[in-house]
Chain A
Amino acid sequence: GAGVSQSPSNKVTEKGKDVELRCDPISGHTALYWYRQRLGQGLEFLIYFQGNSAPDKSGLPSDRFSAERTGESVSTLTIQRTQQEDSAVYLCASSGLAGVGNEQFFGPGTRLTVL
């Protein structure tokens, strides 16, 4: 079956513009995560959705970042008034079951470049 997909694969924008990044998780997966990976760095947790529970937003770096998820399907990460330091690869992951210890399957990422 299809894995996690993300769009666009690349996004170049000008400083100050808003961007929307999309994630389609594996069908049936209840948990969805967003991470940021700067060049040569590790994975930085941004936000986590689990079913109908309130999302864990503890990793969002500023109020310019927000994310939504429609039920147990598509999620959109929005960055408002982009800054150059927002340039990174944004990775989405999903996992199938509630509870700790379930494999997270990653999407291919969206490479965001802010000029």
Chain B
Amino acid sequence: GENVEQHPSTLSVQEGDSAVIKCTYSDSASNYFPWYKQELGKRPQLIIDIRSNVGEKKDQRIAVTLNKTAKHFSLHITETQPEDSAVYFCAASSRGNEKLTFGTGTRLTIIP
């Protein structure tokens, strides 16, 4: 089955700087890659996703890149703000299978 690895497990950045979180996946048939944000004590919420037919997607300060050959994808947050502090999870799912396999999460802390 699919295996998703996520790095780093914790990340601290100065407010205004950029943050990058990286994930790798094992199943070459995976074709959908969402990112979820989970604030302390709250439910995960989708912030951005990418499908395998594109290499990059951007939504304001958030972008995701996908390298299918290397089987890795990354989340980029620019101009970080205190409200970006949360745990971020990457995930992957395969064609014909809606089950998401999640990474282990990255705890992002923005230092004011």
Q: Which of A's residues lie within 8 Å of B, judged by CB?
A: 31, 33, 35, 41-45, 48, 50, 56, 58-59, 91, 95, 98-104, 106-109
Q: Are A100 and B94 in contact (CB under 8 A)?
A: yes
Q: Are A42 and B32 in contact (CB under 8 A)?
A: no
CB neighbours of A103 from chain B (8 A): 34, 46, 49
Q: Are B98 and A42 in contact (CB under 8 A)?
A: no
CB neighbours of B93 from chain A (8 A): 100-101
Q: Are B31 and A42 in contact (CB under 8 A)?
A: no
Q: Are A100 and B95 in contact (CB under 8 A)?
A: yes
CB neighbours of B46 from chain A (8 A): 103-104
Is B104 located at the chain interface by the 8 A CB criterion? yes
Q: Are B98 and A102 in contact (CB under 8 A)?
A: yes
Q: Are A42 and B49 in contact (CB under 8 A)?
A: no
B91-108 interface bits toward A, Cβ cutoff 8 Å, 1 = contact, 0 = none: 001111111111111000
Nearest CB of chain A from residue B26's CB, rounded to whole Å: 15
Is B44 located at the chain interface by the 8 A CB criterion? yes
CB neighbours of B34 from chain A (8 A): 103-104
B residues 32-46 with Cβ under 8 Å of A? 32, 34, 42-46
**Which residue of A48, A50, A91, A95 contacts B44 across the interface (Cβ within 8 Å)?**
A91
